[in-house]
Amino acid sequence: MRVGSHNVLQIGDPRLRQRSEDVSANDSEQKKDMARLQRTLSEFRRVKGFGRAIAAPQIGIARRFIAFDLGRLPFVMVNPVITWRSEATFTLWDDCMSFPSLLVKVRRHMSISVAYLDGEGNRQTWLDLEPNEAELVQHEIDHLDGILAVDRAQCISDIISRDAYAAMPEYFDALVDENPNAGENADSTSQP
């Protein structure tokens, strides 16, 4: 999908299936790629009206970083690693910039903790995330590992069109535990 001067790779593109390489946040070339990723996220949100994060592989960069915009200062996670997962899980309708006309029913951990480098190379941790952020980080780390949300669907009825959802949101919401994306552009209360 073409967004401004940037391409967001679409499902079927083999580059979405590559496992990304660790990177150094202080590398000048990486900083340019991180800025490009943040611009793509911002432009996608402006054009499509959704999108809280984007992983570098979604624009053809096979490196381990993710740009976030959660309604406050945008930031980048470099080399994120999940350090803890809750036993509790939940189902939700997941969306993705790489297949913007679809929603996929997936199961995610209710909470996670993640360690990462910030855009300046400083080690950070984000502990015991709320479900909204937990599912998002899990989704984006999947992208870094070449896994798409459609891979997590358990059956064909777990993949629906965004138009079908819009026509019957109450019906589809009743099929999942939670729909954290319902108010996705609202400000979040936890801080990275």
Active site residues: 140
Query: Quick one: tokens of 38?
Result: 């943040």
Q: Are strands 89-94 and 75-85 parallel, antiparallel or unpaired?
A: unpaired
- How far apart CA 187 and CA 174 sit, in angstroms, is 24
Query: Quick one: tokens of 100?
Result: 């913007």
What does the DSSP assignment read for 141-184? Answer: HHHHTT--GGGG-SSGGGEEEHHHHHH-HHHHHTTSS--GGGGT
Query: Quick one: tokens of 130?
Result: 């709320």
Rounded to an integer, what is the distance from CA 112 to the centroid of its chain?
A: 14
Q: Are strands 75-85 and 112-117 parallel, antiparallel or unpaired?
A: antiparallel
